[in-house]
């Protein structure tokens, strides 16, 4: 091989490496923007979602949810139901489709006041791939924890699906009664940001629509170090920490998704991952 040919090959390799580096940087930047706009949930009847056409704001579309901006009506009152969308027939990790996976899910006017001071609340997620145990941080985010506990005690999360896996930010996301990324509990709750948010492995935080005080029932678990890509936009209320089963979250994050080239719309797991049941344990602090 001549020296000139060798130099040409080395130049091409260097150019290719630089292009790949720029592409990785662009993906990381887009991931941060996408979560700001598309870590999705619907607070009520507003239609926007990460996974249904024309509903969720895309990374370039700064739309916002419609509907109430906070709890309205009598706390704990049921206002109606929503119908879950069918998930993939195959279930991940050898699991099975829960019998009540397609039963209508309740909507509420506002969360009832169910938590008490001087209590510790622990949530256990029984998933298709194993259990995840989460300490709820009531001192840090009391309204968020109260809403989560209220919904869990109503069976709201049972038989719902993990509907988003995003390995660019190491997020697994659930809490949508419809399973599409467009659903919520019928109300929204205020942000409870402390100014020290850092999305490290094991953090559990509320998803939102990209606008203030738009949290509802959708949440995400950080299952790896790239969650800290969100630190540049710390807009997600942290309300829990995984104390057991982070390896289960990691396993779920590593599952194949429906369309790796499809953006947020393709981030549904190729095989369904169910939150079979969410239970709450209460103890004295």
Strands (E), 117-225: 119-127, 130-136, 160-161, 164-166, 171-174, 203-206, 219-222
Instruction: Give me the pLDDT at residue 72, please.
Output: 60
Report CA dihedral (71, 77, 83, 86) to the nearest 10 degrees. Answer: 80
pLDDT at position 13, please?
57
Residues 6 or more apart whose CB falls under 8 angstroms from that of 10 comprise: none
The conformation of residue 61, written as its DSSP 8-state character, comes to -
Chunked into runs of 10 residues, the chain (285 residues) has average pLDDT values of 52 56 50 43 34 28 34 86 97 98 98 97 98 98 98 98 97 97 97 98 97 98 98 97 98 97 92 98 94
- Token code pair at residue 22: 């720029």
Per-residue pLDDT at 263: 87
pLDDT for position 47: 29
Distance between CA 178 and CA 37 in Å, rounded?
Answer: 20
Q: 169: which 2 tokens?
A: 């930010």
The backbone region for 140, taken as left when phi is positive above 0, alpha when psi lies in -120 to 50, beta otherwise, is alpha
How far apart, in Å, are the Cα atoms of 236 and each of 67, 129, 199? 20, 26, 9
3-284 folds as: Cyclophilin (2.40.100)
Strands (E), 65-191: 78-82, 105-108, 119-127, 130-136, 160-161, 164-166, 171-174
- pLDDT at residue 73, as a whole number: 75
pTM of the full structure:
0.79
The string of DSSP codes covering 248-281 is HHHHHHTS-BS-TTSGGGG-SBSSB-EEEEEEEE
Nearest to 194 by CA among 140, 139, 137, 136: 140
Burial (CB count <10 Å: 0-12, 13-18, 19+), residue 138: buried
User: Which pair of tokens denotes residue 5?
Assistant: 């040919």
Closest CA to 190 of 139, 237, 231, 234: 237
pLDDT of residue 40: 44
CB 207 within 8 A of CB 222: no
Q: Where are the alpha helices (DSSP H) in the chain?
A: 3-38, 142-153, 246-253
- The total number of residues shown for the chain amounts to 285
């Amino acid at each position: 091989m001549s020296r000139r040919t060798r130099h040409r090959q080395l130049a091409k390799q260097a150019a290719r490496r630089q292009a790949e580096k720029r592409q990785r940087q662009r993906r990381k930047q887009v991931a941060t923007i996408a979560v700001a706009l598309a870590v999705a949930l619907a607070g009520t009847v507003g239609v926007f979602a990460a996974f249904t056409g024309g509903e969720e704001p895309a990374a370039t579309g700064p739309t916002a949810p419609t509907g109430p901006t906070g709890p309205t009506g009598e706390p704990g009152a049921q206002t109606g139901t929503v119908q879950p969308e069918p998930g993939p027939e195959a279930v991940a990790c050898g699991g099975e489709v829960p019998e009540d996976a397609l039963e209508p899910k309740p909507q509420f006017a506002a969360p009832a006041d169910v938590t008490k001071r001087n209590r510790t609340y622990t949530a256990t997620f029984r998933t298709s791939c194993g259990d995840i145990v989460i300490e709820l941080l009531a001192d840090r985010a009391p309204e968020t924890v109260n809403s989560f506990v209220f919904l869990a005690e109503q069976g709201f999360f049972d038989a719902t699906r993990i509907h988003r896996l995003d390995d660019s930010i190491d997020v697994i996301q659930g809490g949508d009664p419809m399973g599409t990324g467009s659903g919520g509990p019928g109300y929204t709750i205020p942000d409870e940001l402390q100014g020290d948010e850092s999305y490290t492995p094991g953090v559990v935080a509320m998803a939102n629509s990209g606008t203030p005080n738009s949290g509802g029932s959708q949440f995400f678990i950080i299952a790896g170090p790239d969650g800290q890509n969100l630190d540049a936009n710390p807009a997600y209320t942290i309300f829990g920490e995984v104390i057991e089963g982070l390896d289960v979250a990691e396993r779920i994050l590593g599952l194949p998704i429906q369309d790796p080239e499809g953006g947020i719309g393709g981030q549904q797991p190729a095989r369904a991952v169910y939150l079979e049941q969410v239970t709450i344990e209460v103890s004295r602090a």
